[in-house]
Amino acid sequence: MSTTTDVAASLAAAQPAPPARSRGYWAGVGRRLSRDPVTLIFGAILLLMALAILFAPLLAPHDPYQTSMIRRLRPVWFQDGRYPLGTDELGRDLLTRLLYGGRLSWFLGITPVLIAFVIGGSLGVLAGFAGGWVNMAIMRTTDVFYAFPSVLLAVAISGALGPGISNAMLSLTLVFIPQIIRVAESTTTSVRNLDYVESARASGAGPATIVRAHVLPNVLGPIFVYATSLISVSMILASGLSFLGLGTRPPEPEWGLMLNTLRTAIYTQPVIAMLPGLCIFLTSLCFNMVSDGLRSAMDVRG
């Protein structure tokens, strides 16, 4: 009996241990992000800014459109405490204008990139997976847009369409679609000939099934990370269009438009004149740092 027990124990000990359950790719991405303090800090700043502009009606001390020539261009930390960031050239509270202006600036910075991500990503995946004349038609059309600098193209389209938020969004979307198409096409081309895609094709899976089950899960990550890096560019371009009078129109609060209207106060109240530009710079920096952190976290080789 003891001999049988010893043999059974030795056989149980000789059996290989069951493999540890994989935590998954996205779990690894989250783990690497949690160990990146720089990305977490700038992400927290973005979250605080998003909450501030989202709850602007609750945080803003004044009406963003209320003017008063008596209190125009009051300095930062005015002595009565009612205007902590001073007032603009029309006597409107600058803190209130910055909070409400963040809504339009973020909207003009994120929405064109999201639309370009959907349209450009779809066209890029189609071009990379289909190849042949489909790839040729899409990519040669994309190359036409690359003949012009992004800033010049955005200004030209906005100038042709006229000022306005919708026209500015359309011009920015047209600028970013070709860039996302190129990234999506190159990523899809590198994936479509891999072994697991060939195996799925040999097993009889259709093109739609292969794209949905095998291609998209592996290409959406890099495309999304690249799109997040375009948000800061979109915000700067949108502010530039408003500064030139091709985007948001008065009296709507928007950081680029506020830079334009406050430029005459640069010699009398330089701190007030630079506050909208500081908001644009800080937001763009945060988006760039978060995008770099996402790229590093999603790099499996890292």
**Given this model, what pLDDT does residue 302 score?**
39
| The most confident of 80-89, 118-127, 142-151, by mean pLDDT | 118-127
List, as one string, the DSSP characters of 226-268. Answer: HHHHHHHHHHHHHHHHHHTTSSS-TTS--HHHHHHHTGGGTTT
Lowest average pLDDT, out of 108-112, 147-151, 226-230, goes to: 147-151
**Given this model, what pLDDT does residue 127 score?**
93
Lowest average pLDDT, out of 54-63, 195-204, 250-259, goes to: 195-204
Is the confidence at residue 12, as pLDDT, over 50? Answer: no
Is the confidence at residue 219, as pLDDT, over 80? Answer: yes
Q: CA 165, 171, 175: angle at the middle one, nearest 5?
A: 140
Ramachandran angles phi, psi of 17, nearest 5°: -70, 145
- Give the Cα separation of 29 and 273 in Å (integer): 41
Is the confidence at residue 15, as pLDDT, over 50? Answer: no
- Give the Cα separation of 256 and 85 in Å (integer): 17
Q: What's the average model confidence in pLDDT over 170-199?
A: 90
**Given this model, what pLDDT does residue 111 score?**
95
Is the confidence at residue 193, as pLDDT, over 50? Answer: yes
Q: What's the average model confidence in pLDDT over 235-239?
A: 93
Closest by CA to 248, choosing from 106, 53, 77, 92, is: 106
| The most confident of 150-154, 234-238, 294-298, by mean pLDDT | 234-238
Does the bond joining 163 to the residue before it have cis omega, within 30 degrees of 0? no
- Give the Cα separation of 263 and 274 in Å (integer): 9
**Given this model, what pLDDT does residue 31 score?**
86
Tokens 């890292």 sit at which residue?
302
**Given this model, what pLDDT does residue 194 score?**
82
Tokens 């502009």 sit at which residue?
53
Lowest average pLDDT, out of 5-19, 36-50, 70-84, 226-240, goes to: 5-19
Is the confidence at residue 233, as pLDDT, over 80? Answer: yes
- Give the Cα separation of 106 and 108 in Å (integer): 5
Cβ(151)–Cβ(239) below 8 Å = no
Q: CA 272, 275, 276: angle at the middle one, nearest 5?
A: 120
Is the confidence at residue 167, as pLDDT, over 50? Answer: yes
Residue of 257 and 212 predicted with greater confidence? 257
**Given this model, what pLDDT does residue 199 score?**
84
Residues whose CB is less than 8 angstroms from the CB of residue 34 and which lie 6 or more positions away in sequence, other chains included: 40
Q: What's the average model confidence in pLDDT over 150-177?
A: 92
Model confidence at 79, in pLDDT bands (50, 70, 90)? low
Q: Which residues pair with 93 in a beta bridge?
A: 87
Is the confidence at residue 32, as pLDDT, over 90? Answer: no
**Given this model, what pLDDT does residue 146 score?**
85
Q: Any alpha helices (H) in the chain, and if so which ranges?
A: 2-14, 25-34, 37-54, 56-59, 94-130, 132-145, 150-161, 165-192, 195-202, 207-210, 216-243, 255-261, 270-298
- Give the Cα separation of 271 and 265 in Å (integer): 9
Tokens 């600098």 sit at which residue?
149
**Given this model, what pLDDT does residue 24 score?**
67
Q: What's the average model confidence in pLDDT over 82-87?
A: 88
pTM, to two decimals: 0.86
Q: What's the average model confidence in pLDDT over 260-281?
A: 92
